[in-house]
Every structure is written in C-alpha cells, then in structure tokens.
Structure 1
C-alpha cells in the first residue's frame, strides 16, 4: 500500500503543469546627457559611443539624449546612473534641476566627463555634486602624465596623456576622494600647483559622484588607462564597487 501511494503521488506531481522560469531582472540603465548651451566639443559623439560600450560591458544599457525634458522624477527613476558628458552652460531649468537632485538623494549615481565642470554655475548644488567648477585651461592640448592615487598617496605607474587640461576654481581635494592628478611641471598654463586633481569621486547627498577632467580630445577615448578609469567610474556611480 505504501509503495502504491508513493507511485500515485509521483504520477500526480508529474501531471502538474510546469511553472515558467522567473524572468531575469531588466538590466540597469545609464542616461548619457550631452546638451550644450556654450562651447560644443567635437569629441561628444566619441564620448557617447565609448560610454555606451563601457555600459554594455558592465551589463548595463545606455541611452543618449540632449533633451532636458527627460529630467523628470518619473523618467529618472528608470536609471541607475546619469552621465553629463561635456555638457556646457545652463542646461536644466528649475524643475529639471529638482528632479536631478531627487534622483541623487534617492541613491542615484552621477558621472561627469570633462566639461561637466563647465556647466550650471548658478546651481550651487550641482557644483558640489561635481566637486569643482572649471576656471580656465591652457591653450590647445598638451602632454603630461597622470598619477593615480589612493588615500592621498601615489599608487601604480604614471601614464602619459595628451589632452586639454582644466584648471579649477578651487582644489576639490578637501571635499572628495582624489583618484588621479596631473603633473603641471610637464606642460604650460597649469595654475593649481603641485596638487592638481584631474579625476575624483565622493559620496554626495545620498548618492555617488565620479568625475574626470579628461575627455576633450577624441583620441583620449582610445587610451586604455582612460577607459579603465571610466569603467571604474560607472561601476562606482552604480553602487557596484567602492573602488573608484
């Protein structure tokens, strides 16, 4: 009788319809924003293509726009990270700014590339998000070395870069975690002295922010060290890593 019941139970289970597998979670999304109200960088298309590739390699999907109307509470809720890639000038109105602030306060991530520091000078919260505002830059692109650092100390081998090298209105170091500096001794026009941060990150207002001043010249986006930095920046902003 026990054997009969066991067989009957097994047959009953076999006759039940199979449950469909649970659907995979949709990939996290990145919004790449490139609206300009001032100088327009020729490298923007290359920056967008590079960021889309890096996002894809990280298992994320990147959307690109220059339409500030996408900055609403509902639409930004679709994204894990917002990237300002060489934006310039006043690109968001007050309602759009409020939506961006809410996005960060809700745990969202921000990545700023190059002229993101030359954006929204009349929006102090944004300046704190980025970490520093652009002041000026020496003429043209010039060659120097980038020195990675961790916890305020140089690490790894310096690597060469040729790009437009921003001076900032204030040194961001007191407010951020510096990722890398540039060596002003090797080019003309640096105004920040022995400590010239060029890439940094920080936790800010409930979210995360990562910025690099590199990215003026399209050729920079073929530099393996720059690509590695950008990839780490995306992971950091998305909350996937504390290593920026």
Structure 2
C-alpha cells in the first residue's frame, strides 16, 4: 500500500535525519498539523487524466491550512485502524467498484464516528451497488454532454446561500468551462445545495439521450450524513481546473469543510440511505 505523508515534521526530522511517518492510531497530532486527510484515487472504470493534477492540488492546498495529506490507490487503506488517523477521506475522481465489502463496512463506521468525506467529480460515478455510498455522495452520475453536442462547455454556476467556506470566495454568478454532469436523481431533498449550473447557458443534453436536469441542476452540495461530514463537487474534470484560481478556492474551502476545519452548520442533516 503506497501512502505518502505530505506534511513532515521538519524540526524532528532535522534531529534524527530521517522523515517522520504519519502518526499511529491514538498518537497526538503534531502541533502544526490541524488535520490529516487521505486522498483516494483508485479507478475501476474510466480513468480521468486529471487525477494526478487533482491529487497535487489537494497537497498544495493542504500545506498552508495545516492539513497533512496522504495519498493512495490501495483500497487496503480502508480499515478501522488506518482510517482513524484521518479527519477526512477525499475520493478524487474514483470510478466503478473500488472497495470490497469489508472495506465498505470500515468506511461506513469511519463516517459514523464523525469522519469526513469530500467527493470530487467522478466520485459520483463510483460504487453504484452500494446504496449507503450513494447517500453519502448525494447523487449518482448519469451522463454529461457529448456525442450530439460538446463535451466541454462554458456555463454559469449560480452560487446559493447561505455561504459556506466552499463558496465564500466565489461570485454569485461564476462563468467556467467544465464537463457538466447530469445526475440520476436531484439530491436537493437530502442535502444543502451550494451551487447549481444554469442549463439556459449551455446545452445539457447528455450522451445517453437525457435532456439534462431542468431548472434545478445542483452541481455542489454538502450534508451531515450518518454522523459524519460530506461535501461533493461535480466540477474538476479537466487538468486545467487544478490551476484555475477560483476553482482552487472552491476546492480549498470544500476540503476544510470535510476536514472539520470549517463550519458545516448550514449543511442539511441527512439520514443514511440504503
């Protein structure tokens, strides 16, 4: 299992001449470390070429916030003992069936103990046979524009209130180019929608023949789910997104919310589904 600690203890390392590993279960966190997250980027279906850029972005965003970042594509990291080290787990454009049943149960217990989850883009194209996860991410991916129209289009993101850390740095109307996901269901009954995409500003027809989601098309949301924290953004398909200043502000705020370093008081409390 490859897990890379990103926030080293510089002073301690200087004394002993070696790097310092992630703290074991039950150990106190280093003074400068406010939180620790695990970025998980395993794929069992389509693999986005933006995953390395997304992982690096989380690493960069974590440093000034005091968030230590470990990364892995090994599902063996999903054990009760290992997950206790983390304040949040980031699913970075995961796809398909990436966890087996014991790993799924360990992750459920982690969230139930108050852990955090941040899903980025294709995290909603993951674990279709695990209804609890579908509730955690909020909605499953259906399709995106393509085939009869353009896959990547500029559209207007409409930021909703009340503002959270994930949206506080964003304008009310945010123009950007993205692979805009259509979802199988509208998550609004279960989550606090933080932003929608205005279908009047692009062609939402999907490659499966869907007509889009209509007047209410959530693209970013949060919830307090089954005892834990969940934040999801449908954005982040292209490599270029992870050098886009506004998107990075959005991602940084979402990371802080999932890690417990920013408030989720406005996020809807949702019961587990499935």
Point out where structure 2 has 5 or more consecutive residues left out of the alignment: 1-27, 206-211, 268-274
Paired positions, count: 222
Deviation (angstroms), 1:222 = 1.9
Q: Which residue of 65, 68, 76 maps to 1:61?
A: 68
Q: Which residue of 131, 137, 153 maps to 1:130?
A: 137
SS at match of 1:121: coil
Deviation (angstroms), 1:189 = 2.5
| Aligned equivalent of 2:121 | 114
Distance 1:238 1:197 in 2: 22
SS at match of 1:45: helix
Kindly provide the CA deviation profile for residues 39-91 of structure 1, in whole angstroms up to 9, marking residues without a partner as x.
00000000000011111121011111100001000000111110000000000
Distance 1:52 1:38 in 2: 25
Within a 5 Å distance, the mapping from 1:41-60 to structure 2 comes to 41-60=48-67
CA 1:138/1:35 → structure 2, altered by over 3 Å: closer, same or farther? same
Kindly provide the CA deviation profile for residues 118-158 of structure 1, in whole angstroms up to 9, marking residues without a partner as x.
00000000000000000111112111011111149x99431
Distance 1:160 1:237 in 2: 25
Q: Which residue of 35, 38, 43 maps to 2:45?
A: 38
| Counterpart check, 1:220 vs 2:231 | no
Name the structure where helix makes up a greater proportion of residues: 1
| Aligned equivalent of 2:200 | 185
Deviation (angstroms), 1:166 = 0.3
Distance 1:123 1:81 in 2: 20
| Aligned equivalent of 2:219 | 198
Kindly provide the CA deviation profile for residues 75-113 of structure 1, in whole angstroms up to 9, marking residues without a partner as x.
001111100000000000000001100110000000000
Q: Which residue of 136, 140, 161 maps to 1:150?
A: 161
For the aligned residues, what is the CA RMSD? 2.0
| Counterpart check, 1:75 vs 2:82 | yes
Kindly provide the CA deviation profile for residues 193-238 of structure 1, in whole angstroms up to 9, marking residues without a partner as x.
1111100000000000000000111111122221111111111112
Q: What stretches of structure 1 move > 6 A for 4+ residues in a row?
A: none
Contact 1:151–1:177 (Cα < 8 Å) also in 2? no
CA 1:78/1:23 → structure 2, altered by over 3 Å: closer, same or farther? closer
Contact 1:181–1:198 (Cα < 8 Å) also in 2? yes
SS at match of 1:102: helix
Give the TM-score of the pair, scaled to structure 2. 0.77
